[in-house]
Amino acid sequence: MLGAIAGDVIGSRFEHAGIKSKDFALFNQQSVFTDDTVHTVALADSLLSKVPYQVKLREYFQLYPAAGYGDRFRRWAKSPNPAPYGSYGNGSAMRVSPVAWFYDTLEDVLSEALRSAEVTHNHPEGIRGAQAVAGAIFMARNGASKAVIRNYVEDSFHYELSATIEEIRPDYRFDVSCQGSVPQAIIAFLEAKDFEDAVRNAVSLGGDSDTQACIAGSIAEAYFRVIPEHIKTQALSCLDERMSAVVTVFYQKVSGVSRYPEL
């Protein structure tokens, strides 16, 4: 989960900037958490507390109302009777990482990824994006190779993952749809030599930088097991006490699962 948060914070200042380079400072005074982190922590809190996803997402919106939510989510969160709104946006994929760590079988992970998505993103593409990312994280934390992860995502979710970052980058533009951003974020992980490289790959696409770095970082944490200490420290320093406490308790809860990195 911290991999997703770190990716979000690092990518936050590049959203809409169209950066096309891996050469940038990871953090500065503009680096903040966004709705990607808020949603991720909300899902972790939901899993820990057994309070429904919908309730926690709305609760965290009230706690952090200025985190940069999309208009449709904002209307949903404020509605007296919220109903799924058919979104195929990448919000379902960027928040799903806690689900991939909380359950012990791939079947359960995919089932809960669907449930976590469909409270808002009940479009087939929104569900596909969440399940693809959750499945990739689950396989990575259980020791699957990049080749196995690539083949699994391509075969199970029919995402095309053959292009390289160098091939994608020149013509890639801002895209918040799952189908237009999740495959590229997964490729950013697949090409990476370590956690930091995965996040840099994602940001360098010049698209929805915080969300794609969040997704790439969430898989990279599971695969590489190590988030550099300076990145971990900087990311955690951006969180308030409430969110930090949820992150700490979540790591303690899942610390017995295979290949989980220490907080």
Q: Given this model, what pLDDT does residue 263 score?
A: 59
Which positions ≥6 away from 58 have C-beta within 8 Å? 77, 82
Cα distance between the two ends of the chain: 10
CA distance 97 to 198: 16
Give the domains, in start order, of the chain with CATH numbers. 2-253 (1.10.4080.10)
User: Which residues of the chain register pLDDT less than 70?
Assistant: 256-263
Q: Identify the three-state secondary structure at position 177.
A: strand
CA distances from 84 to 18, 72, 190, 201, 227 (A): 31, 10, 32, 32, 35
DSSP label at residue 20: -
pLDDT in tens, 116-135: 999 999 999 999 999 999 99
Rounded to two decimals, the pTM is 0.96
pLDDT in tens, 14-35: 988 889 999 999 999 999 999 9
CA angle 66, 67, 73 (to 5 degrees): 95
Of the candidates 246, 262, 165, 232, which has an alpha carbon nearest to the alpha carbon of residue 6? Answer: 232
List 177's β-bridge partners, or say none.
89
